[in-house]
A and B are shown apart, each in its own frame.
Chain A
Amino acid sequence: MLDLHDIINGLQEVLPILGTLTGHPEIGVLSSRLLQLGEDELQRRTAISGLSRSEELAEAERTYRQFRIENEAAKKMGHENE
């Protein structure tokens, strides 16, 4: 039986090649990056199963702190020279 991680790894290898072959390497890179996000999310969800209520809330608190950092960076993208 195929493992989801194996499928992801396979797609991550194939998509950039397809992107290059079709003359749009940026789409291949984007696809590969999205798959990496998916892989990270899958690992996170596997790791957090069975958390207590307080642990869930603490995890959410940490995640929002991380979000704030990344969201500020996202807002600044494209405005570096302003």
Chain B
Amino acid sequence: MRLARRQLAPIALLTLLIITTAGFKGCPSSNDLDRGAKASNELAHDVLLANRVLVEFYTAGKIPLAAKDKIADKLGTIGDKGEKFNATLIELDRKYPQGTMPPQDLQFVRDNLGELRKLYSEVLADLLPFKAQKAVSALDKDLSTIEKVVK
């Protein structure tokens, strides 16, 4: 029974993360802005999902208040930056309806996504002490996929 108790949360987490990663396929679109938009949407949903997982862990008493506050603040920062990044993509979408951007704008998109990825990796590192290794590993894989989309 002890084994079963220990494995309950990891089983659920693993299943959740298999679902979140299994559904993602490489973007079939052919231009930079399409791929950026896809990545931005994926990131928005990842941040929302991470926030919901955090709330569930805190509600279940698995994460102390101080750690919850710290991670929620970091997620808030990512949300702010991600929202601005998405707004910039909307402007670029209007500016370049054909979807191909000049190199400086493309670099801007890559830099922003790289920064958001770094911030998100910090959040994943914050989750590690709470026995969420499987979650971190799978979410990191998901982010790598997003990063690859923009390359």
Question: Count of B residues near A, CB < 8 Å?
Answer: 59
**Chain A residues at the B interface, C-beta cutoff of 8 Å:** 4, 7-8, 11, 15, 18-19, 21-24, 26-35, 37-39, 41-42, 44-46, 48-49, 51, 53-54, 56-57, 59-61, 63-64, 66-68, 70-75, 77-78
Instruction: Indicate whether A11 sits within 8 Å of B20 (C-beta atoms), given known contacts A26-B61, A53-B93.
Output: no
Instruction: Indicate whether A60 sits within 8 Å of B44 (C-beta atoms), given known contacts A38-B19, A70-B52.
Output: yes
Chain B residues near A67: list those with CB within 8 A. Answer: 44, 47-48, 51, 79
Instruction: Indicate whether A15 sits within 8 Å of B12 (C-beta atoms), given known contacts A37-B56, A64-B79.
Output: yes
B113 → A minimal CB distance (Å): 12
Q: Tell me the interface secondary structure of chain B in the complex.
A: helix
Q: How many inter-chain residue pairs (CB < 8 Å) link A and B?
A: 168
